[in-house]
Structure 1
Amino acid sequence: MSVISPRPVCRTCFVAVALFASAMSVSAAEPFESFLEKHCIGCHGPLNEEGDIRIDLLSRDFKAGVDTHHWAEALDKVNSGEMPPKEEPQPTQDEIEAFVTKLDSLLKEGRAARMAARPAVSHYRLSRKEYQNTVYDLLGVRYDPAKPGALNEDTLWHGYERIGTQLSLSPSHVDRYYRAAGVVLDRAFPISSGEARKVRKTAADLRYGGGKEQQQALDRFGIKRPLRYLLFPGRVEQALSSSWFGKTGEEHSGLYKLRLQASGIRPPGGQPAHLSIGQRTSEETVDGLVEFDITATEDNPQVFEFDVFLEMPTQLHFAVVATDVVDRRAGAAFRGALASRGGYIFTHSNETLLLNPNAPQMFDGEGNGIFSTVILDWIEWEGPLVTEAEKSRREGVLPPDDAPHDVIARHLQRFAQRAWRRPVKKEELDDYLETYRVEIEAGEKPADAYRIMLQSVLTSRNFIYLVEGEPDARQRLTDWELASRLSYFLWSSMPDDELVEQISNLPASQAPQTLNSSQLQTTSLHHPQRLATQVDRMLTDDRINRFIDDFSRQWLGLHRVGMFPPDKKLYPGYDDWLETSMRGEPVEYFRETLKKNLPIDAFLDSDWTMANARLCDFYGLPEPEQDGFQRVSLKPEDHRGGLLTMGAVLGLTSDGTRHRPVHRGVWVSETIFNKTPPSPPANVDPIEPIPPQGNKITIRQRIETHAKNASCAACHRNIDPLGLAFDQYDAIGQWRTREQVPTGVGDDPLVDASGVMPDGRPFSDSVHFKRLLLEDRDKFARAFIEHLCTYALRRVLSVDDRDGVQAIVDEAKRHQYRVKDIVRAVALSELIRKR
């Protein structure tokens, strides 16, 4: 994943070079080849092949660039003194200067030749998330492309879902895009548009079928409290039936307002009740669409409100998540004694007259709850809702019913220009208008015939792809292409009206190099001041949250959180809400660092994190006073701080039963330093488990034995220390001092988190390790910028991007590597403005 090497090599004296296939004698070679023969071929030649590199077999054709990434890494390693190795004879400064100068000139000559030969057009298909955002910003339509049967899942490259070479278009894609466009247009322009409806259900309605008989019982006891719905762990109850709104179908999909009044019963010292509302997945669980902790007490219930996107028709359910220890044998008794409508009446925990003597015990002798439960008073759904902003995006799309041909053509052209994100010539739409004419002549209604044209616009390559380079080969983007690149970088969506207005008087093919200085200043988005104004505006717009959510998730590989569900027997405290909370922590942390413009040091270490009540309980932190994620302070004894010690990061590099130091090391190498280690050799023996009669030893000790294999040692010495530094955290990120070893004899061994960095610096534990990383902040900053550029440019970086990346690094360093300033520097960079 390196900017210069998708296949990094071992630290020991790699130099990327090519000699002619026929061996060239040293005496006949120039000083450049002499340097290689003298200092490099010994480790990377026919007699030795460290890191799978044979320098005598690599391509010398710099114009083709086949092995350019190896040459570039050679330049870095010679410049940094990493090669030749310290134990080998060292070149003189003159030799180094001559070698570096020659190699640098060859790289630049090859880069210029490749840029000159670059093809005219590049296509980058929108990811599913970008498609979702684009149809919303275009037509104000909410559409879920990830639902079953919608758009195909995006192919990932190192966690990134927007790399152009990975996002191909197959026949199945085409069919699904046509169906998606149909759904989007149905929602934008429904045949019958009704007003939003509101449905309110009280606890009596939900639990007691109206509660008439139960109310009579309360009257007999003289109890004045209203009936309330007690939601207990281990049972799923209905939260929404589409029949509540009458007959609903696809046209009723959209935004709904969910309101409910609830409180919780919480055991002394236990966790707050957690309510999940979503699709039922099993007898006792739901896939949470809305999830939240309830800290309000039953005497002071709280009203909660959420905006929820619903694909209609649908059924939603309540489920209470409680990680307190509950006797599973009582589950059937709860369902039997508490679920029947007339079997249990609840208004308040101190109303002992209402307690069913045959029901399982729910409260102790002092009225305290034995486990976490939710008390629901009422729930209200309202929708589908359409905001004024959403309505405005649809204005002017449809022509009048009796519009003449020229009016229809103008409406279609305006819509196509917005959808395709560039000016559209009238002749480009001739085929669309001909289809319209044929449909009308065949008896189709004008509205339906026009809808066919809109669907064609939304399934055109000009909508589904970001198209750069038409019609001629060139190095720079046009203003229209630059606007789209910026908006899909910072907003994951199309340019807005203000951005388009900056360039609306320029033709689509107008390249900035054809403008004089006056035109550039007054009309071109490439003008530094105009570009900076727009970037600053975009960074403060609410749509920047899309970038925060998407980039942090892809950069950190958060799609892997929960990929291997932790073993319930080994980690009984792990639950779905904890996993969801873990996945949210690094995203909210990134949001805080960007919006506060904090230095990137915070990614490596900090005295704070972003946590909710569930995470605070897991980390042993004081419970926050408010619901949801908020900034909480950390102390050294909390053993947290920065991304590397978050539960999500530690968990995504585990396998559900044990931690995996090698996987953790690979994650640090890729994410923190943007260096992807080479794949392990084929047929390498796995780490053997400890036999029942063997002595208990740590995974570290077993890895060290495994790494003695000569074919493994070169890579393990660079990877393992990066992961072993976090050996004091188990598979789900819990702090521990001893490693729990399930087999073998003897006590569980003490954890050893010490190690030696690849450059020889020792560390004692994760705290010391993070200090060393902070000393390498320049390397981390460059790697972070490379990740940002990969995301922004939608492609793998190459050696041709080195100068552009370095310019961004220099600019960011002047601003102390503050996160928002780094993102701004990328958006304003020359690299962003080039094809």
Structure 2
Amino acid sequence: MSRFFVSAFGLCLFMGGLGAAPLPPVTPFLEQHCTECHDGEVKKGGLDLTGLAFKPEERKNFDAWVKVYDRVSQGEMPPVKKPRPEPGAAKSFLAALKTPLHDYETAQQKENGRTVLRRLNRTEYENTVHDLLGISLPLKHILPEDTPLHGFDTVAEGLRFSQLQIEKYLEAADAALDAAIVLTKKPVGINQRYSYKNEPGIRKNLDTPPGTLSDKTNPKSGHRVMFRENEKEVIMFTTGDYLVGLKQCRLPGPGMYRIRLSGNAVQSDGEPLTLMIYSNNYKNKRLLSYCELPADKPREFEFTTRLDGSEHIVINCDRVGRDKKGQNIYNVGAAEFQGTGLAMQWIEVEGPLSAEWPPASLKKALGEVPLTELGEKQKKFRDGKQLGYELAPTDVKLAVKSGLTSFAARAFRRPLEQDEAVPYIALAQQSLDAGGSFEGAMRVGLRAILTSPAFLLLEEHPGRLSDRALAARLAYFLTSSMPDEELIKVAGEGRLTQPEVLKAQTERLLKSPRAAAFVTNFVGQWLELKNIDATTPDTKLYPEYDMLLKLGMVTETEAFFSEMLKSNLPVTNFIQSDFVMVNRRMAEHYEMPGVAGEEFRRVVLPADSPRGGVLTQAGVLKVTANGTVTSPVVRGAWVMKHLLGQPPPPPPASVGAIEPDTRGTTTIREQLAKHRDSESCASCHKSIDPPGFALESFDVIGGYRENYRSNEKGANVKRKLNGQNIWQYKEGLPVDASGELADGRKFQDIREFKKLLLDEKAQVMRALAGNLVTYGTGAGIQFADRDAIEAIAKLAEAEGAGLRTLVHAVVQSPLFLSK
């Protein structure tokens, strides 16, 4: 009789009282330490162990036993006030319970795999279509949002299909094919320098004599000149949007554009200004890039971006408009204004940028099909645009078959099975038989391929992954897109499953620019930075919060993760590091002098700095707070879940939420004391609250504080906003960042707390390994996976505990190599 059968049967006998078979050593342990509180009468926490059968095939039952295992193994149960079990008794109980749970789930995994069949999420779909067709058209906004599970939108159980999903895939496929199949005449591009001196609105303001009444009945309606100009530039003193208008710069069509500009700060006391460049189509405004302009000396800045053809370029600078006395430009006028201004010499727009025409996307979509160039006497139009080319296949049916077969093989990320392309070719043939053109027939077939299960789903079978399935898993893990040519080649040769080859390919992808997708998508979900816009800080209390600070918050954490990955720094740096990744704006926010420019770079911290690690990064601190006050409960739960991999249970339904005291009359610590006095709350809060208390030294936007800010009570505090404007708030109650961990260890502030947290580095490594496995395999960590996660963590620790080493350990693990 197997050990699994003995253990499971014994438990069933104990729970159901069915007979006299030998029992594993769980009966005396449960009777002695558990059933007093967890029987049919008391049923504490809703758990009745005397009525709980052992039926692992039922998910709720299995989860209940895992919960029992975890509470005992973590020392949470029996409660501290109860007699503690002998270490040997607890160890025997856990071993007896672990075996049947582990063996049952392992058997299920062998039969069905850890991961259910999963589809591409929105980001993966967009990236894959871009790579497949060679286009850059945004697509993911067309698709419904994905449902994250276990913290990630790559988990298969959350990636369901619906009727709406299919309809949107069809819409996205049509949009992608429209962008790829381009037969119009080559657009006459632009490459021109523009001056704001010629912008109609600015020109009118400069040319209208000062004092001219816009309303002759109102003597206060006199014209105020808001700009200065000289031979080379216009100087702007307001925070409004300044566009390169359509009369000057009309974009010839969608595509990639190169934008150059020259500008500098004036009257800024030597301080730089940050210029933001947007696109605007009168419906949506989006940030394209930003740069720091020095004082008094022009700087040229260049970047490349996609524009949809209906947009115009807009610049904005938010550190102008008031002088040192707080006077507004509107009240003073440009001639007398002594505040900071933005001097713009010129702006250049070049594009659309295309190395060849028709674009390479045409061949990627249709294959090698001959083209006939249309002369001026053969004018043909489509959607109001003149065609420049016609498709001219010598054998239409053969071209359709060849084109769709080749495209399907690339789209499905593997060689086609026999006759697998036949249904798509048949659809195209029906279009031809109905009198359709070659292009129309190809669109029908391509549309079907781009909405087929073979394209939308990642094909994996129970057991070890094939080379091609492994190539797809590795590519989507590290690049959020389909395998590139080299990875496809290595997989096709059957070499990818060789450990050294797999390691080399992993390293190659990590070094490639495509790995930026891994950093953005993993970090954004692991640390919840994707929620950066979920709250808006109170503008009265935190007027220093602006677009640049928000962008910097996210970029800092991504840059920090990238630096750790590139340099293979120990995972403990997530807890405490001796450096930060900042630009001037973030360094200013952290009160770190001597950092200039918009580029993020590694800056060594002073020895006594409270910064270092992800806990004290502004982005993390913002997403764990609301716009007005901080909550140790929210931040403490974040630490437990994301760094320690021990998410606390949800609060009981009978326990109300803590209402924030926006008046600043009580501290959050005082409010939480009432919660901690409740027995039902205390057991969880003793673990949740301490990390949150340590982080109370940081406000809702991640600024360091010794006192809370208040709008109502306390002494007035005056501070400069963005280096010049003055704002005022009230100094609230003092911050107390001390605390005591559940095991009795105490700390006085965030510095001491991080030292204590370093003692948990093994747990941090396990938690991060679990998150990487979940993100990379598309399945949450199951009970049967825990030993494998432990092995990954120990392997990485033995080899230096570096982040890059951990990623390699994940990829080489059985969890990653199997379905």
Q: Identify the residue that residue 750 of structure 2 maps to in structure 1.
A: 766
Quote the residue 2:233 is aligned against. 228
Distance 1:813 1:330 in 2: 59
2:268 corresponds to: 267
The answer for unaligned runs of 5 or more in structure 1 is: 1-16, 218-222, 335-356, 364-369, 506-522
Instruction: Determine which of 692, 709, 716 is the counterpart of 1:723.
Output: 692
Residue 191 of structure 1 is matched in structure 2 by 183
Determine if contact 1:475/1:834 at 8 Å carries over to the other structure.
yes
1:493 counterpart residue number: 481
Alignment of 1:202-351 (within 5 A): 202-204=194-196, 206-207=198-199, 226-239=231-244, 241=246, 244-245=249-250, 248=252, 252-265=253-266, 267-268=268-269, 272-279=273-280, 287-298=285-296, 300-322=297-319, 333=330
Instruction: Find out whether 1:36 has 2:30 as its counterpart.
Output: yes
Q: Which residue of 1 aligns with 2:727?
A: none
Query: Does the 8 Å contact 1:199/1:244 carry over to 2?
Result: no
Q: Cα distance, 1:387 vs. partner? A: 5.3
CA distance in 2, matches of 1:52, 1:63: 21
CA contact (8 A) 2:320 2:342 kept: no
Task: Please state how far the C-alpha of 1:773 moved relative to its aligned partner.
Answer: 1.0
Structure 2 residue aligned with 1:563: 534
Cα distance in 2 for partners of 1:120, 1:684 equals 36
Which has the higher mean CA deviation after the structures are superposed, 199-208 or 255-264? Answer: 199-208
Q: Equivalent residue of 1:543, what SS? A: helix
Pairwise CA distance, 1:537: 1.6
2:648 is the counterpart of 1:659 = no
Counterpart Cα distance in 1 of 2:347 and 2:436:
45
Change (3 A) 1:254 1:800: farther
For residue 676 of structure 2, the aligned residue among 704, 707, 710 is 707
d(CA) in 2 for partners of 1:561 and 1:769? 25
Distance 1:18 1:39, change over 3 A: farther
* SS of structure 2 residue aligned to 1:428: coil
TM-score if structure 1 supplies the norm length? 0.83
Structure 1 residues 232 and 745: alpha-carbon distance in aligned structure 2, compared to 1, 3 A threshold: closer
What CA deviation, in whole Å up to 9, does each residue of 1:17-36 have, x standing for no partner?
87766468999854222212
Q: 1:398 matched to which residue of 2?
A: 367
TM-score by length of 2: 0.84
Q: Secondary structure at the match of 1:736?
A: coil
Q: Deviations over 1:477-534 (max 9, x none)?
A: 22211110110001100011111112325xxxxxxxxxxxxxxxxx342222222222
Distance 1:588 1:448, change over 3 A: same
Question: Which 10-residue stretch deviates more, 404-413 or 378-387?
Answer: 404-413
Aligned residue type for 2:241:
V
Q: Does the CA-based 8 Å contact 1:620-1:638 persist in structure 2?
A: no
Bigger mean CA offset, 526-535 vs 725-734: 526-535
Of 703-712 and 820-829, more deviation after overlay is shown by 703-712
Deviations 1:332-372 (A, max 9, x none): 827xxxxxxxxxxxxxxxxxxxxxx8547422xxxxxx23x
**How far apart in 1 are the matches of 2:433 and 2:46?**
68
Are 2:469 and 1:481 aligned?
A: yes
Inter-partner Cα distance in structure 2 for 1:652 and 1:442: 56
Structure 1 counterpart SS, 2:431: helix
Change (3 A) 1:24 1:727: farther
Residue 412 of structure 2 is aligned with which of 407, 420, 439?
Answer: 420
Change (3 A) 1:52 1:773: farther
* SS at 1:234 equivalent: coil
- After superposition, residues 69-84 of structure 1 pair within 5 angstroms as 69-72=63-66, 74-75=68-69, 78=72, 83-84=77-78
Deviation readout 1:207-233 (Å, 9 max, x if unpaired): 368979989x9xxxxx99624122333
Deviates more, 1:175-184 or 1:190-199: 190-199
Moved more, 721-730 or 20-29: 20-29
Alignment deviations for residues 685-710 of structure 1 (CA, whole Å, 9 cap, x no partner): 34356698xx9331111111233233
Identity over aligned residues, as a percent?
A: 31
Match of 2:510 in 1: 539
The one of 805, 810, 833 aligned to 2:789: 805
- Indicate if the aligned counterparts of 1:137 and 1:393 stay in contact, CA closer than 8 A: no
Partner Cα distance (2:88, 2:653) in 1: 42
Q: Which moved more, 1:763-772 or 1:321-330?
A: 321-330
Q: Secondary structure at the match of 2:421?
A: helix
Q: Which amino acid is the alignment partner of residue 492 of structure 1?
A: S
Distance 1:622 1:200, change over 3 A: same
Tell me by how many angstroms 1:43 deviates.
4.1
Confirm whether residue 375 of structure 1 aligns to residue 329 of structure 2. Answer: no
Amino acid paired to 2:350: E
Deviations 1:220-254 (A, max 9, x none): xxx996241223333112146498346x5xxx322
Greater CA drift, 707-716 or 195-204: 195-204
Structure 2 counterparts to residues 664-679 of structure 1, below 5 A: 664-679=635-650
- 1:353-372 correspondence runs (5 A): 359=334, 361-363=336-338, 370-371=339-340
Q: Which amino acid counterpart does residue 547 of structure 1 have in structure 2?
A: F
SS at match of 1:679: coil
Report how many aligned residue pairs link the two structures: 752
Decide whether aligned partners of structure 1 residues 224 and 263 sit closer, same or farther in structure 2, where only a CA change above 3 A counts: closer
Give the counterpart of 1:685 among 634, 656, 673.
656
Measure, in 1, the Cα distance between the counterparts of 2:35 and 2:20. 12
**Match for 1:681: what amino acid?**
P
User: Given that residues 274 and 322 in structure 1 are in contact (C-alpha distance below 8 angstroms), is that contact kept between their aligned partners in structure 2?
Assistant: no
Distance in 2 between the 1:580 and 1:328 partners?
30
Secondary structure (helix, strand or coil) at the match of 1:156 reads coil
- Supply the distance in 2 between the matched residues of 1:279 and 1:197 (Cα, whole angstroms): 20
Q: Which residue of 2 aligns with 1:793?
A: 777
Q: Give the partner amino acid of 1:375.
A: A
**Deviation at residue 80 of structure 1 after TM alignment:** 6.0
Question: 1:203 is aligned with what amino acid?
Answer: S
Deviation larger for 664-673 or 729-738: 729-738
Q: CA separation in 1, counterparts of 2:769 and 2:469?
A: 22
Query: Which has the bigger relative contact order, CA under 8 A and spacing at least 6?
Result: 1
Q: Which residue of 2 aligns with 1:825?
A: 809
2:423 corresponds to 1:431: yes
> Please, what is the CA RMSD of the aligned residues?
3.4
Please say if residues 569 and 802 of structure 2, whose CA atoms lie closer than 8 Å, have aligned partners that are also in contact. yes
Contact 2:635/2:692, CA 8 A, preserved across alignment: yes
- Measure, in 2, the Cα distance between the counterparts of 1:328 and 1:159: 49
Residue 734 (str. 1) matches residue 703 (str. 2): yes
Which AA in structure 2 matches 1:260?
Answer: L
- Letter paired with 2:295: T
Q: Report the counterpart of residue 166 of structure 1 in structure 2.
A: 158
Question: Is contact 1:122-1:467 (8 Å) kept?
Answer: no
SS of the aligned residue for 1:200 comes to strand
Asked if the contact 2:115/2:777 (under 8 Å) is kept, the reply is no
Code of the residue aligned with 2:780 in structure 1: it is V
Once the two structures are TM-superposed, the CA of residue 541 in structure 1 deviates from its matched residue by: 1.6
Once residues 420 and 786 of structure 1 are traced to their aligned partners in structure 2, the CA distance between those partners, rounded to angstroms, is 29
Paired residue for 1:115?
109
- Is 1:129 aligned to residue 123 of structure 2? yes
8 Å Cα contact 1:811/1:825 also seen in 2: yes
Tell me the equivalent position of 2:554. Answer: 583
Shift of 1:748: 3.5
Quick one: which of 635, 640, 654 aligns to 2:611?
A: 640
- Once the 2 structures are TM-superposed, how far is the Cα of residue 725 of structure 1 from its aligned partner? 0.8
Further displaced range: 121-130 or 657-666: 121-130
Residue 707 of structure 2 aligns with an amino acid whose one-letter code is: R
C-alpha contact 1:26 1:34 (8 A) present in aligned 2: no
Cα distance in 2 for partners of 1:73, 1:168 equals 28
Change (3 A) 1:60 1:281: farther
Does the 8 Å CA contact 1:43/1:49 hold for their aligned counterparts? yes
Change (3 A) 1:727 1:388: farther
In the alignment, the residues of structure 1 paired with residue 89 and residue 149 of structure 2 have an alpha-carbon distance, to the nearest angstrom, of: 39
